[in-house]
């Protein structure tokens, strides 16, 4: 008879060592930058707008007016009609992308000299600023990998479809932009292999530390990489932190140490995880939300001509057409509809020490396309075209943009370049003073990074905008 033992706390995944590794086995970070620039130069691609009426392979479905692919695959642009009383009464109708397939966002990992490296791809996507950005090893919808489009099979897919002999480090279903996709979710997965991996020219091994450095630069690490990286807890135990020269403790620590301390506090925040789950349950229970998919032709306030689909007042976003030619994708030439926002967005986390422990301010947000209708977003999630009058001005937006608080991260990133045309978001992390005791509205609450990691792990709790900012958090020595 064996007595129960306490849980193993030292995590063997080795994420922290990789995150603290500023240089990789195969290149310096500068070298990786150079490689990406070369790939951008070498891959010939051309993206230009075309009228919706000129899309080849796409048509308006007779009765609904939905924009659909002739094959019935890929995705459709349809309508959605939403009514919600959370946090304020709101009714709206809009076009939305329906892409029911679960995609795979898979990063292959391998240890070199004991340090985890991640295989990223220089991948062209038509909506990306810079076109080529660093994407996961495999970034494929089911239509991709079952080759509905008749193209080539994505490289390295076999590491994710046959798991035997490999080790799963991360494996989660996560939502995508709930204002633009209806119930879309992707599998976020990191697989570690010990096998020899032939590296194609468009791929490169990087440490987590190198990826974090590149995340400080604009339009370099794509959204699909960011969501997978966001699933990685910065540290698994105090022992792992200390073994990597960090000192997780409350109080006047560096921001990197404060992040690690907060990661190690899933149960010691200013509130328990039970209290956080109860807060979410109360909000999800009390909100009256009705979201109904509908025919694109039936929504009001939007006009469709041969060129594009847009709101009469020009707000929020348009649906446009693009034509793409590339020598580096599964299919050399295609046209497709894309969503083009009318301006840039902001996703920002406000952090604050509470009793010396770093907390993040999250907000519960209603978004018509997320599975639970309400997920948690960053403190400020400002969407292009949203009115900025007093009543609707996002809480703490001024703190985020004024630069008065300590800014720990600020970078300009592209949203997913396969569906969004140059949708740019400022990703920001600021820290306000511990003495700042402004009350927060009831749909906001302070949580530790360890609590955010736990919520991410169980899926459908943190939205993509929140995860994208969290991916940027860096724990490298200065």
Stretch 138-157 residues interacting with a copy of itself (CB under 8 A): 142
* 164: contact with a copy of itself by CB under 8 A: no
Half-sphere exposure in the Cβ direction for 197 (13 Å, CA): 27
235-254 footprint of a copy of itself as x/- string (CB under 8 A): ---x---------xxxxxx-
Counting DSSP H helices and E strands in the chain, the numbers are 12, 24
**Which region, judged by CB under 8 A, interacts with a copy of itself, from 50-58, 127-135, 260-268, 411-419?**
260-268
Angle between helices 255-263 and 449-458 (to 10 degrees): 50
Q: For residue 424, what is the enclosing H or E element?
A: strand 424-432
* 40: contact with a copy of itself by CB under 8 A: no
Q: Which of 68, 264, 322, 361 binds a copy of itself (CB under 8 A)?
A: 264
* 297: contact with a copy of itself by CB under 8 A: no
SS3 assignment, position 36: helix
* 300: contact with a copy of itself by CB under 8 A: no
Closer to a copy of itself by Cβ: residue 140 or 179: 140
> Residue 420's beta-bridge partner residues?
339
Closer to a copy of itself by Cβ: residue 111 or 284: 284
Q: Which of 57, 70, 71, 100 binds a copy of itself (CB under 8 A)?
A: 100
Tokens of 231: 């699933």
Convert 38-47 to b/e letters by CB count within 10 Å (16 or more is b): ebeeebebeb
Half-sphere exposure in the Cβ direction for 232 (13 Å, CA): 32
* 54: contact with a copy of itself by CB under 8 A: no
* 282: contact with a copy of itself by CB under 8 A: yes
CA torsion sign, 233 to 234 to 238 to 240?
A: positive
Tokens of 16: 């922290």
Least separation in angstroms between residue 234's CB and a copy of itself is 14
Q: Which of 28, 281, 298, 392 binds a copy of itself (CB under 8 A)?
A: 281
**Residue listed under structure tokens 């699909």:** 224
Contacts of 134 (CB under 8 A, 6+ apart): 36, 120, 121, 122, 123, 206, 211, 214, 220, 221, 222, 225
Closer to a copy of itself by Cβ: residue 82 or 131: 82
Stretch 318-377 residues interacting with a copy of itself (CB under 8 A): 356, 371-372
Q: Which of 111, 187, 304, 307 binds a copy of itself (CB under 8 A)?
A: 187
φ, ψ at 281 (rounded to 5°): -60, -45
Closer to a copy of itself by Cβ: residue 77 or 236: 236
* 106: contact with a copy of itself by CB under 8 A: no
Q: What is the DSSP letter of 224?
A: H
**Residue listed under structure tokens 């033992």:** 5
Closer to a copy of itself by Cβ: residue 98 or 427: 98
Closer to a copy of itself by Cβ: residue 153 or 163: 163
Q: What is the DSSP letter of 390?
A: G
Q: Which of 23, 171, 217, 330 binds a copy of itself (CB under 8 A)?
A: 171
8 A C-beta contact, residue 353 and residue 265 = no
Distances (CA, A) of 54 to 61, 301, 323: 15, 24, 9
User: Among 12, 185, 229, 43, which residue's Cα sits nearest to residue 111?
Assistant: 12
Task: Please compute Rg for the chain using Cα positions.
Answer: 22
* 189: contact with a copy of itself by CB under 8 A: yes
Least separation in angstroms between residue 362's CB and a copy of itself is 16
* 294: contact with a copy of itself by CB under 8 A: no
* 10: contact with a copy of itself by CB under 8 A: no
Chain-centre distance of CA 250, in angstroms?
Answer: 29
**Which region, judged by CB under 8 A, interacts with a copy of itself, from 28-36, 91-99, 170-178, 221-229?**
170-178
Q: Which of 28, 34, 71, 278 binds a copy of itself (CB under 8 A)?
A: 278
**Which region, judged by CB under 8 A, interacts with a copy of itself, from 26-34, 64-72, 84-92, 454-462?**
454-462
Residues that bind a copy of itself in the complex, under the rule CB under 8 A: 1-5, 7-8, 100-102, 104, 142, 163, 168, 171-173, 187, 189, 238, 248-253, 261, 264-265, 267-268, 274-275, 277-278, 281-282, 284-286, 288, 290, 356, 371-372, 457-460
């Amino acid at each position: 008879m064996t007595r129960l033992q306490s849980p193993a706390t030292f995590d063997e995944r080795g994420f922290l060592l990789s995150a603290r590794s500023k240089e990789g086995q195969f290149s310096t970070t500068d070298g990786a930058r150079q490689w990406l620039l070369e790939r951008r130069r070498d891959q010939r691609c051309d993206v230009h707008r075309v009228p919706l009426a000129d899309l080849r392979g796409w048509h308006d479905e007779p009765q609904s007016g939905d924009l659909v692919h002739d094959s019935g695959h890929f995705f459709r642009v349809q309508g959605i009609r939403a009514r919600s009383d959370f946090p304020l009464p709101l009714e709206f109708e809009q076009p939305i992308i329906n892409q029911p397939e679960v995609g795979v966002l898979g990063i292959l990992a391998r240890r070199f000299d004991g340090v985890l490296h991640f295989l990223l791809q220089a991948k062209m996507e038509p909506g990306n600023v810079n076109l080529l950005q660093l994407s996961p090893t495999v970034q494929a919808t089911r239509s991709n990998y079952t080759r509905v489009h008749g193209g080539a099979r994505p490289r390295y897919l076999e590491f994710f479809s046959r798991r035997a002999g490999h080790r799963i480090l991360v494996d989660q279903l996560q939502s995508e932009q709930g204002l633009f996709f209806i119930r879309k979710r992707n599998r976020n997965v990191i697989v570690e292999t010990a096998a020899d991996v032939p590296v194609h020219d468009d791929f490169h091994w990087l440490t987590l530390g190198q990826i974090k450095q590149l995340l400080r630069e604009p339009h370099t690490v794509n959204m699909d990489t960011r969501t997978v990286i966001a699933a990685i807890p910065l540290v698994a135990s105090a022992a792992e932190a200390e073994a990597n020269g960090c000192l997780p403790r409350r109080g006047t620590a560096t921001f990197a140490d404060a992040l690690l301390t907060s990661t190690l506090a899933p149960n010691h925040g200013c509130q328990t995880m039970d209290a956080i789950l109860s807060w979410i349950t109360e909000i999800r229970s009390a909100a009256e939300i009705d979201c109904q998919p509908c025919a694109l032709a039936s929504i009001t306030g939007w006009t469709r001509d041969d060129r594009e689909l847009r709101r009469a007042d020009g707000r929020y976003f348009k649906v446009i057409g693009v034509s793409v030619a590339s020598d580096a994708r599964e299919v050399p030439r295609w046209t497709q509809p894309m969503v083009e926002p009318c301006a840039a967005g902001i996703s920002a986390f406000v952090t604050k020490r509470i009793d010396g422990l770093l907390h993040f301010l999250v907000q519960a947000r209603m978004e018509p396309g997320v599975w639970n209708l309400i997920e948690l977003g960053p403190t400020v999630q400002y969407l292009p075209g949203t009115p900025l009058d007093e009543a609707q001005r996002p809480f703490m937006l001024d703190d985020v943009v004024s630069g008065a608080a300590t800014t720990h991260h600020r970078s300009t990133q592209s949203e997913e370049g396969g569906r969004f045309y140059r949708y740019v978001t400022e990703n920001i992390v600021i820290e306000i003073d511990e003495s700042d005791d402004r009350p927060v509205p009831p749909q906001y609450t302070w949580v530790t990074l360890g609590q955010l990691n736990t919520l991410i792990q169980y899926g459908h709790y943190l939205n993509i905008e929140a995860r994208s900012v969290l991916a940027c958090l860096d724990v490298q020595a200065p």
